[in-house]
C-alpha cells in the first residue's frame, strides 16, 4: 500500500453533468476525509467518514454533493448537475484510528473543470 | 473571526535566510496543530506537527506553539529555493467532531 489513491486525476465536464470521484485510503486508516480547494485558498472541509459511517458533512455542501463509503474502505464523491463554481481540486485524506494527534495523508487530488 | 488565519504573503526571503510563517486560531481548546507544504498543482504534504507549548525542531524546520496566545509559527532555517511553496497551517479543532481546519496558506518564495 503506497498511500492514498484518487481517481481520476483530472476531469473536464460540461455544466449540468454528473461526476463521480473515487478515493482509496491507506488500508489501515479507518478515517477518511474529503476536502475541496480552489486557487489561492486552503483546503475546505466537505465531509468525514469513520469506517462506513458519515459522521460530519459541511453545511456549505449543497444537496448536489453526496459521498459514500459503503464497506469502510474506498469512498466516492458524486456531484450532480455540476456548475462552473464546482471547478476545484477535490482532495481525499485519511488517518488511522487512534487519536487526533496524527496529521492527514492526502491523495494526489482530482482536478475538476466544469465548462 | 476566521477559524485559522495566516498572512497570505507572498513572503520572499533570500537563500540561506530564515523564513518565519505565522498562524493564529480561534478555538482555544484546540490540541493538535500541523504545518503542510504544498507545491503548485500538488496536494498538501505534512511537514510538522506540534501538540505542546514550546518549540519542536525537525531538521531545518522549527514549529512553535503558544496556546495562551492561540498562535503557531513555523521557522525554516537556511532557506533553499526548493522551499518555495505555499505553507498551510492546520488545526484540529476541539469544537469539531474530528476534522482539521486549514488556513488560507502563506506563499513563500526563496530567492537564489
How far is it, in rounded angstroms, from Cα B90 to Cα B105? 9
**Best mutation target, B21, B74, B99, B101, to test chain A (most A CBs within 10 A):** B99
- Nearest-CA distance from B18 to chain A in Å? 24
Q: Return the C-alpha cell found at A11.
A: 476531469
Average pLDDT over residues B52-72: 95
Q: What is the pLDDT of residues B7-32, one digit of tens each?
A: 878 999 999 999 999 999 998 888 89
Residue-wise DSSP of A62-95: -TTEEEE-TTSS-EEEEE-S--GGG-EEEEEEEE
How far is residue B51's CA from residue A24's CA, in Å, rounded to a whole number? Answer: 28
**Chain B residues with at least one Cβ partner in A under 8 Å:** 4, 8, 31-32, 34, 36, 42-46, 49, 51, 88, 90, 92, 96-105
* Grid cell in block for residue B109: 518564495
Give phi and psi for A74, each to the nearest 5.
Answer: -75, 165
pLDDT over 80 at A97, yes or no: no
pLDDT value at residue A1: 52
* Unique residue bearing C-alpha cell 488517518: A95
Contacts of B111 (CB under 8 A, 6+ apart): B12, B13, B14, B15, B81
- Mean pLDDT, residues A38-48: 93
For B74, other C-beta atoms within 10 Å of its C-beta total 23
Chain B residues with CB under 8 Å of A103 CB are 34, 36, 46, 49, 90, 100
Residue A90, pLDDT score:
98
β-pair type (B4-6, A19-24): unpaired
Distance from CA of B62 to the nearest CA of A (A): 17
Matching residue, cell 459522521: A55
Closest CA to B91 of B28, B9, B8, B7: B28
pLDDT at B96: 62
Q: Inspect the interface and report whether the beta carbons of B43 and A106 lie closer than 8 Å.
A: yes
State the pLDDT at residue A103.
Answer: 84
Digit-coded pLDDT (tens) for B96-110:
667 899 999 999 999
| Position A60 pLDDT exceeds 80 | no
Identify all chain B residues contacting A45, using CB atoms and an 8 Å cutoff. 99-101
- Write out the three cell numbers for B89: 497551517
Query: A39: exposed, middle or buried (C-beta count within 10 Å: 0-12, 13-18, 19+)?
Result: exposed
pLDDT in tens, A79-91: 999 999 999 999 9
Q: Residue B67: its pLDDT value, please?
A: 93
Grade residue A100 by pLDDT with cuts at 50, 70 and 90. Answer: low
User: Average pLDDT in the B43-61 region?
Assistant: 95
In the numeric block, which cell numbers belong to residue B50? 506540534
Closest Cβ opposite residue A41 in set B45, B49, B104: B104
* pLDDT of A78 over the 70 cut: yes
Say yes or no for a CB contact (<8 Å) between A107 and B43.
yes
Chain-chain contact of B44 with A91 (C-beta, under 8 angstroms): yes
- Tell me what the pLDDT averaged over chain B comes to: 93
pLDDT at B97: 60
Q: Phi and psi for A87 in degrees, rounded to 5?
A: -60, 120
- Confidence band for B44, pLDDT divided at 50, 70 and 90: very high
Q: Is B20 exposed, middle or buried (0-12, 13-18, 19+ CB in 10 A)?
A: middle
Residue A71 has a pLDDT of: 86
Amino acid at each position: 500500500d503506497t498511500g492514498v489513491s484518487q481517481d481520476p486525476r483530472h476531469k473536464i465536464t460540461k455544466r449540468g453533468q454528473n461526476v463521480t470521484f473515487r478515493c482509496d485510503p491507506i488500508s489501515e486508516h479507518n478515517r477518511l476525509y474529503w476536502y475541496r480547494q480552489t486557487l489561492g485558498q486552503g483546503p475546505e472541509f466537505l465531509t468525514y467518514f469513520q469506517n462506513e459511517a458519515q459522521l460530519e458533512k459541511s453545511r456549505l455542501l449543497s444537496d448536489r454533493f453526496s459521498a459514500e463509503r459503503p464497506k469502510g474502505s474506498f469512498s466516492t464523491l458524486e456531484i450532480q448537475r455540476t456548475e462552473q463554481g464546482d471547478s476545484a481540486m477535490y482532495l481525499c485524506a485519511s488517518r488511522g484510528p487512534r487519536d487526533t494527534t496524527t496529521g492527514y495523508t492526502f491523495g494526489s487530488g482530482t482536478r475538476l473543470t466544469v465548462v | 473571526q476566521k477559524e485559522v488565519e495566516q498572512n497570505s504573503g507572498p513572503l520572499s526571503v533570500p537563500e540561506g535566510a530564515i523564513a518565519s510563517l505565522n498562524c493564529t486560531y480561534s478555538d482555544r481548546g484546540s490540541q493538535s496543530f500541523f504545518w503542510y507544504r504544498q507545491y503548485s498543482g500538488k496536494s498538501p504534504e505534512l511537514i510538522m506537527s506540534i501538540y505542546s507549548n514550546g518549540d519542536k525542531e525537525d531538521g531545518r524546520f522549527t514549529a512553535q506553539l503558544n496556546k495562551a496566545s492561540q498562535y503557531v509559527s513555523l521557522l525554516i532555517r537556511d532557506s533553499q529555493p526548493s522551499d518555495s511553496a505555499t505553507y498551510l497551517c492546520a488545526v484540529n479543532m476541539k469544537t469539531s467532531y474530528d476534522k482539521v481546519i486549514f488556513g488560507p496558506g502563506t506563499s513563500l518564495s526563496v530567492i537564489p
